[in-house]
A = this chain, B = another copy of it.
Amino acid sequence: MPELRKDPITRRWVIVATERAARPTDFPPGEPLPAHSASCPFCEGQESRTPPEITAVRRPGSLPNTPGWEVRVVPNKYPALRIEGSTASVHDGLFETMGGVGAHEVIIETPRHDLHPATLPPGQMATAAWMYRERYRDLDRDERFKYLLLFRNHGRSAGASLTHPHTQLIALPIVPKRATEELEGAQSYFAREGRCVYCDVLRQEVAARIRVVWENGEFISFAPFAAWCPFECWLVPKRHEAAFGSLTDAQIPALAEAMQQTLGRLYRCLSDPPYNYIIHTAPYDAKVGHFYHWHIEIIPRLSQVAGFEWGSGFYINTVPPEDAARYLREVVFPAPQGQPAPAD
């Protein structure tokens, strides 16, 4: 019998197919990455092919827009929004328009073309995560921005036009709908129960264990109870904090480890699937610290989303999250010693 499950935060219902559930081998493996691409604008040595860099982690003495960097941040060459302009609203009867003001940046996570969060050296992943936080904090100083959307598209069917490892950010003068829904859900739970709904979900997941994928002292990843697509995973800090920007230096290695473990297990289990992750965080300057809890949502792009799902907000998930978590817990990661890293 299929089940209907309700997300305790956003109150979205999903159908979870419990018969004929799909297994990892039911999904096509990802396309192999080329070892190197001379035409890639994100590769070391091609710095002049991107807009001038905003910031970078560099070897001492190396100059901006030249080789010698570890992580490099550049404006998106085809930005969805423009950095100049005002955010005044224009009303025309029922309709409200605002200038498309915002920042659209690319965080290039390694000079190497062929790596993946699963195969990056741990220090490199930590440097990338540190840079996410630095950009979060820097853009917080621009009063026009209300929200920072940090997201990663991996694989062509997940919307990545370049394969070189990178994450994007869009700083927005508005709060996107999904964030608003979460904030409203968490606020109404807090009003009722006096506690953070995410903290309560964590407590219940840790007690039940059946949906947990991996954890360390600071972070836990699990397949959410009402996962809306196969192998959806959430990565949540155990310490209650609303804003991603509150991530401390001491937490960064633990975050990098949890990301590598969770993404690495997906990579192994599903043969390098396309995926997106999105950092869900409090809006800038929002007084939501008591009830909201930042986290990362990882969405493998394994199946065609039918339009009715897209348009109705009603999803059918063919892999129960308990099964997905078990597959991900049981996979061998990292590679046993002596075995080459898979993308090398």
Contact = CB atoms under 8 A, between A and B. Distances in A.
A4 to B, nearest CB: 4
Between A4, A98, A313, the greatest number of chain B beta carbons within 10 A of the residue's beta carbon is seen for A4
Nearest to A96: B6
Interface in A130-183: 149, 151, 153, 157-159, 168, 172-174, 176-181
A254 interface: no
Contact of A177 (B82, B95, B313): B313
A173 B15 CA distance: 11
Contact of A204 (B93, B99, B158, B311): B93
Interface in A246-285: 275-276, 278
Copies per assembly: 2
A181 B313 contact: yes
Interface residues of A, number: 66
A299 B309 CA distance: 11
A311 B197 contact: no
Interface in A268-323: 275-276, 278, 297, 299, 301, 304-314, 316
Nearest to A150: B308
A176 B312 contact: yes
Between A2, A157, A204, the greatest number of chain B beta carbons within 10 A of the residue's beta carbon is seen for A2
A127 interface: no
A95 B225 contact: yes
Interface of A: 1-6, 8, 10-13, 15-17, 80-82, 85, 93-100, 149, 151, 153, 157-159, 168, 172-174, 176-181, 197, 200-201, 204, 225-226, 275-276, 278, 297, 299, 301, 304-314, 316
28 contacts: A1-B82, A1-B100, A3-B99, A4-B98, A5-B96, A5-B98, A6-B97, A13-B174, A13-B176, A15-B81, A15-B100, A93-B204, A94-B201, A95-B204, A149-B314, A151-B308, A151-B311, A159-B305, A172-B314, A176-B313, A177-B312, A177-B314, A178-B311, A179-B312, A275-B307, A278-B312, A299-B307, A301-B307
